A and B are shown apart, each in its own frame.
Chain A
Amino acid sequence: MTKPKNAQVIAPEAYPQLMSRADAARAMLTLHSPQTTARADAVMQAAVRPLRAAILHYVDEMEAAGADMGLVFEKVHEIRGFAETAGLVTTGRVAEILARYMDDMARIAKPLDTAIVALHVSAIARAARAEGEDEKMGEAVAAELATLVARRLGDAEGR
């Protein structure tokens, strides 16, 4: 086998770079400096409260979406994107399981099991609204839901 026909490799030196080498050296120091880490930590910490409020809003919308699975997926996707940043680890885990299930079923063009979706929606809502989340309970529920989804997905794929 030889290189694909017409393939042209353009080296980094041959196209405009993001910054000069001197700036790149300074930039790397900036990215790894303790001051940057401290500022970034403060940003992430400041995001927790507004993101928790946003997640609760998405949870309300997810529940109100009812049988509109497209809208449920949209809200679940937002929740999984933010939950961990907001310190809602269990909420994020359950949302991740549901989002993957919905995505996988769409990929193999199989209908969603609405009971599975409803179970997850309920678990996400309970976890998000529980101040501080009950971690042990949350982990157990997330693990059970993951097993259930894996089994149903296996059935749908004919495994």
Chain B
Amino acid sequence: MTASGFESLKALIVEDNGHMRALLRALLNTINIKDIVEATHGQAAIETLRERRSDLVLTDLAMKPMDGLEFTRHVRNDPRSPNPFVPIIMITGHTEKHHVEQARDAGVTEFLAKPITANHLFSRISEIVDRPRAFVRCDSYFGPDRRRRMMDGYAGPWRRKEDLQDMDVR
């Protein structure tokens, strides 16, 4: 059998709905990601991450007691986080603009709207594999660069509210 490139990857699915967990697992299996663990909320996922390496995380947004945003912030910012750089794909039906912005600002790598298709899931994985994002660390944020295209030598304008707070305006 020809190697798929994915066989050594370990994935973590964080999702409270059993049907969605099963669907995501089956889709990951089709690209030969077989080493998959599941968690039903963010707190359980944090514990799983401490116990076992995960190279790719797929997470829902709305879960209790800890949702996908808090989970993502924890992964990116907690000093005990085993891998703050791990790619995180947020998969959710909450596609309203403010939810997407919250996800971006929490530090997700990719956002995928439900209803999911295999094509859309694979395109997000493709982005992660083929075009890994730079990370940005500043006073108010740590996570993938929220600008999708990097321009060498770019010096502004900086438009985000939190950028403005830190900005040295001359």
Interface residues, chain A, CB within 8 Å of chain B?
1-12, 15-19, 22-32, 36-37, 39-41, 43-44, 46-47, 50-51, 54, 77-78, 80-85, 92, 99-100, 103-104, 107
Query: B17, B27, B167: which contacts A40 (Cβ < 8 A)?
Result: B27
CA distance A27 to B23 in the complex (A): 20
Residues A30 and B32 in contact in the complex (CB < 8 Å), given A24-B5, A77-B62, A78-B17: yes
Q: How far is the CB of A43 from chain B (nearest CB, A)?
A: 4
Could you mark each residue 100-117 of chain B with 1 if its beta carbon is under 8 Å from any beta carbon of chain A, else 0?
000000000000001111
Q: How far is the CA of A80 from the CA of B26 in the complex (A)?
A: 21
- Closest B residue by C-beta to A54: B19
A31 shortest CB reach to chain B, Å: 5
In the assembled complex, how far is the CB of residue B107 from the closest CB belonging to chain A, in whole angstroms? 13
Cβ contact of A47, chosen from B23, B87, B92, B98, cutoff 8 A: B23
Does B133 contact A12, Cβ atoms closer than 8 Å? yes
Name 21 interchain pairs, CB-CB below 8 A, sorted by A.
Answer: A2-B168, A2-B169, A5-B166, A7-B138, A9-B136, A10-B134, A12-B132, A19-B129, A36-B30, A37-B118, A43-B26, A47-B26, A54-B19, A77-B62, A77-B93, A80-B115, A81-B115, A82-B20, A83-B115, A84-B115, A85-B116
Decide: B31 and A31 in contact? CB cutoff 8 A: yes
Contact between chains at B166 and A7 (CB < 8 Å)? yes
Q: Given A25-B5, A31-B31, output 7 extra A-B contacts at Cβ < 8 Å.
A: A6-B138, A9-B145, A17-B132, A18-B128, A19-B8, A36-B31, A103-B94
State whether B31 touches A99 (Cβ < 8 A): no
CB distance from B136 to the nearest CB of A (A): 6
Least CB distance from A37 to B in Å reads 8
The interface on chain B, measured as residues whose beta carbon lies within 8 A of the other chain's beta carbons, has a size of 60
CA distance A47 to B168 in the complex (A): 53
Query: Bound complex: CA of A92 vs CA of B115, how far in Å?
Result: 9
Q: Within the complex, what minimum Cβ distance (angstroms) separates A14 from chain B?
A: 8
| A-B pair number, CB within 8 angstroms | 161
Question: At the interface, yes or no: B156 with Cβ under 8 Å from chain A?
Answer: yes
CA distance A113 to B73 in the complex (A): 35
Q: Are A4 and B166 in contact (CB under 8 A)?
A: yes
Q: Which residues from B are CB-within-8-Å of A43? A: 23, 26-27, 29-30, 118
Residue on B nearest A86 in the bound complex, by CB: B115
Q: Which residue of B lies closest to A77 (CB)?
A: B93
Known: A1-B167, A3-B156. A39 touches B30 (CB 8 A): yes
**Is the CB–CB distance between B157 and A8 below 8 Å?**
no
What 0/1 pattern do residues 6 to 30 of B give for CB contact below 8 A with A?
1011000000010110110011011
Given contacts A9-B134, A10-B135, A12-B134, contact A27 B20 (CB under 8 A): no
Q: Are A81 and B114 in contact (CB under 8 A)?
A: yes
B164 → chain A closest CB, angstroms: 8
* Whole-angstrom CA separation of A78 from B92 in the bound complex: 10
Are B167 and A82 in contact, with the CB atoms below 8 A?
Answer: no
* B93 (CB) vs chain A CBs: closest residue: A81
Bound-state CA distance A107–B94 (Å) is 13
**B130-A28 in contact (CB<8A):** yes
